[in-house]
Amino acid sequence: MAKRTDLRPVVTLQSTAGTGFRYVTTKNRRTQPDRLVLRKFDPVAREHVDFRETR
């Protein structure tokens, strides 16, 4: 059985609005080798902002 961390690591997405809100998700290393940036809702800022992958 393959390990879960081999191809799809768990990553943390930090809000760029400076609120400190975070999302946790997984990503595919083969299709997304760079750092992930997603536009998601920040409930503290109450608007959609960019969330960037942190290490």
**Token pair for residue 6?**
């081999």
- pLDDT one-digit tens code per residue, 12-43: 999 999 999 999 999 999 999 999 999 999 99
- pTM of the full structure: 0.84
pLDDT given at position 4: 59
pLDDT given at position 55: 80
Q: Kindly give the pairing relationship between strand 10-15 and strand 22-26.
A: antiparallel
Q: Kindly give the pairing relationship between strand 10-15 and strand 37-42.
A: unpaired
Q: Give the pLDDT band (50/70/90) at residue 6.
A: confident
Contact (Cβ atoms closer than 8 angstroms) between residue 48 and residue 42:
yes
Of 51, 21, 26, 49, which Cα lies nearest the Cα of 38? Answer: 51
Domains of the chain: 10-54 (2.20.28.120)
Contact (Cβ atoms closer than 8 angstroms) between residue 54 and residue 16:
no
pLDDT given at position 7: 86
